[in-house]
A and B are shown apart, each in its own frame.
Chain A
Amino acid sequence: MQFANYFKPVYIFHLILFLSFSISVNNLIFLSYINLAFYIIAHITIIYLSFYFFNFLLFFIFFLYGVFFDIILLNNIGPHLLVFISFLLLVYFLKTKLISLNQKNILYLVIILTFMMLILEMILAEIILNYNFGKNQFFKITITNAIIILPIIFIFNKIDKK
């Protein structure tokens, strides 16, 4: 029984987040779509954690993820950190509105927020750090996101129901 405590959904989600972070920052030349997929999974996990397992510690955890995502992928601090912290603040301030949403609306919200977070990071990287992204990159990230988002949310719900 005590062992089962270690497998609480929240710990599993944090483990998924760490795994996704680790895989997404190590380029696998011939499996680059795997990198991209895990990069997106990391974002979905962040949204999921902040929706269902909100905790003051998340501010510090997301702060660290934001900093290290930025340093490893951009070598400068900015886009990820700003997006993660702003997103968590947004969830915190809108919690009364979010509670009243039904399951369908939450699903839509998660999908929209994932797209927004990814696009916003790219836009911020362009504004702050002068990285230009072609249409191809936006298209690639949108398609990968569209393909994996529903199965991932389904798996996350299964984990959460345990």
Chain B
Amino acid sequence: MKPIFKFKSLVKSKTLINFSATIVFVLAFLLIFFNKSDYLVVNKFKSISNEYINPLTKIVSFPIIFSSNVINEIREYKIINNENLQLKEEILRLKKWQILALQNSRENKVLKKLLNATNNNLTLVKTASLINRNDILFSKTININAGTRAGILNQMAVINYRGLLGRVLETSLNNSKILLITDQNSSVSVKTISNELFSLVQGGSDGVHLVSSFIKDDKLPKVGDLLVTSGTAQIFPADLLVGKIVSVSNNRFYALPFVDFNSIDYVQVVKSE
């Protein structure tokens, strides 16, 4: 323990300290004040953070990230035998479904032609991989290695093979920040597949579940209903898988997202055709 409190100041001049304190304090308040509006300086800080700070922090914390990955590999290796048996059974089951799906797909094409229906297909803008994730204590965001150079724009939807992941929040030349649907400030307009009940969902405070923030006509869905994007908010294309309702209480429902947010490797940035 230190014997006494030593207050060392490298600068003898009090004026310089007062001046720095005032400048920094005013600057801090200005930044906070202009934070919500799309002010140039704030955007510049965000872009620097995306482009330089995030990759730099990744390099610095490489040994820890590497150790974490090794622990993960060992953990996965332990359960690989069980997984193999499960996968063999799943292959057999999926082969049966594949035949059925091919038949349905052909039937769908014919029916669409007969109905002259418009296509709801998605256009893939870019497949990108995860650089690092910042979803620790506060917001739920991740960074991917594609930006405006790859044609990615703000508010584009981001998916993976399981369903909706989130939307593009910030883009720089080579990187983009994605706001996950589990973030408390993210809002997704969804509908249930079974009876098309429209609602808005946002991330829960536990960082795992989605919670309804608005339900149209106050009609509560049932537990087990599947949620897909409704496409009404014009941000997310319609019919992207979002999650499954796991509980309903106090005029709210809670859903579990289809995406496993702990194992995100590659993501697709998409837009409506």
**Chain A contact residues, CB within 8 Å of chain B:** 18-19, 21-32, 34-36, 39, 51-57, 59-60, 62-63, 66-68, 71-78, 81-82, 85, 88-89, 92, 95, 98-104, 106-107, 122, 125, 128-134, 136-137, 141, 157, 160
Contacts and interface: CB of A to CB of B under 8 A. Distances in A.
A77 B48 CA distance: 14
A125 to B, nearest CB: 6
B137 A36 contact: yes
B2 A160 contact: yes
B35 interface: yes
Q: Is the interface of A mostly helix, strand, loop or mixed?
A: helix
Contacts of B1: 103-104, 107, 157
B133 A26 contact: yes
B53 interface: yes
Interface residues of B, number: 62
A85 B26 CA distance: 10
A82 B32 contact: yes
Which of A30, A67, A130 has the most C-beta atoms of chain B within 10 angstroms of its own C-beta?
A67
B139 A75 contact: yes
A72 B49 contact: yes
A129 to B, nearest CB: 7
A76 B35 contact: yes
A100 to B, nearest CB: 8
B205 A81 contact: no
B114 interface: no
B242 interface: no
